[in-house]
Amino acid sequence: MELQLPPHEGVELSVVDMHTGGEPLRIIVAGYPEVRGDSVLSKRRYACEHLDHLRKVLMFEPRGHYDMYGALIVDSETPEADLGVLFMHNEGYSTMCGHAVIALGRFAVDYKLVKEPRSPETQVNIHCPCGLVKAFVEYSAGKTGAVRFLSVPAFAFATDVTVTVEGFGEVTVDISYGGAFYAFVDAQRFGLDVKQSRTRDLVDAATAVTRAIKSQVKLHHPVSDDLAFLYGTILTDGRDQFSPEPTANICVFAEAQVDRSPTGSGVTARVALQYHKGLIQLNQTRTFQSGATGSKFTGKAVEETRCGDFRAVVVEVAGRAFYTGVSRFVQEPQDELTHGFLLK
């Protein structure tokens, strides 16, 4: 039987679905109206203010789920960029997403968004809201493979910050930036293990930390106020000193959304934090494991730089992404749930 679109009204929304380390990425390829703005950051604001209903259609149930993640390809104002991208999730729009960059690197080569693929690697310049991120895609015999990317300048924002966390009292955290701001704290502080504890307990602890920091710590970024917000909290296994053995973490971001991967921008921020503390040196490759799925990324600081007054590093993160399918979504006007819903 040949599949055809069912009865519907309005445009269809076409997507390609992938995952990186278990974390989904829904790449929107057709059906979105024009996203206006003279920069990727201004396009992010426009999407939030004028097109947010479509984020909910594609991220929320019944087409998505509470932890769905998406990417919308847009034009970039930067001549060097091969594509611009907006990231979306259950709460809104991120400024950086490493697992998405890894997937988009493969996608850009496979879907011919770069003109001339080259072996052994093809470079793909992806303009994220946080800045230009350079991805390098393994390419051989017409097939794409693993992807590594070089981050925007990443830096430790503040270390040993004490906040009062509801239900846990005073908690000491570090805050670091890897394209987005994250708080870092050892899960043992809450009597938890990132690989063994119940996900619900990890989410509750991380969410409590995020709420505390948002109310007690003011963030700022040298480039733009649009970047100055806490994206989430990453609970770690406390193994920050360099070791050839993997170190595990779990990231809870946006509206208590759980990352299935080791979190690409989180790995970036964690490497920057470890480098700031003298726990890792330039070009020492560390393996980071997801406490949720066991999937792994590698990360290393490759270059010192600056971001405003902050001493920063460029971090290389590497991983693999895989395709899971393609979909064409429609809406029926009689469907009371067509605009999406979430179960919390």
pLDDT value at 178 more than 90? yes
If you average pLDDT over every residue of the chain, what do you get? 97
Closest CA to 153 of 258, 298, 310, 25: 310
pLDDT of residue 290: 98
pLDDT value at 10 more than 90? no
pLDDT of residue 237: 98
pLDDT value at 8 more than 90? no
Domain residue extents for the chain: 9-150+323-331, 153-317
pLDDT of residue 76: 97
- What band does 31 get if pLDDT is binned at 50, 70 and 90? very high
Task: Tell me whether domains 9-150+323-331 and 153-317 share a fold.
Answer: yes
Neighbours of 298 (CB within 10 A): 18
CATH class entry, domain 153-317: alpha beta
- What band does 147 get if pLDDT is binned at 50, 70 and 90? very high
DSSP bridge pairs for 252: 233, 258
pLDDT value at 134 more than 90? yes
The string of pLDDT tens digits covering residues 84-105 is 999 999 999 999 999 999 999 9
pLDDT value at 2 more than 90? no
pLDDT of residue 269: 98
Third-level CATH fold of 9-150+323-331: Diaminopimelate Epimerase; Chain A, domain 1 (3.10.310)
Q: How far is Cα of residue 318 from the mean position of the Cα atoms in its chain?
A: 13
The string of pLDDT tens digits covering residues 291-328 is 999 999 999 999 999 999 999 999 999 999 999 999 99
- Residue 7 and residue 330: Cα distance in Å, rounded? 8
- Residue 45 and residue 60: Cα distance in Å, rounded? 20
pLDDT of residue 249: 98
Neighbours of 158 (CB within 10 A): 13
What mean pLDDT is predicted for residues 41-69? 98
Active-site residue, from 48, 97, 130, 307: 97
pTM (two decimals):
0.97
pLDDT of residue 184: 98
Please give the share of the chain, as a percent, with pLDDT higher than 70: 100
pLDDT of residue 5: 83
- What band does 68 get if pLDDT is binned at 50, 70 and 90? very high
What mean pLDDT is predicted for residues 248-263? 98
pLDDT of residue 279: 98
What mean pLDDT is predicted for residues 200-212? 98
Angle at 186 between CA 183 and CA 191, to 5 degrees: 125
Neighbours of 162 (CB within 10 A): 10
Q: Is 48 a catalytic residue?
A: no
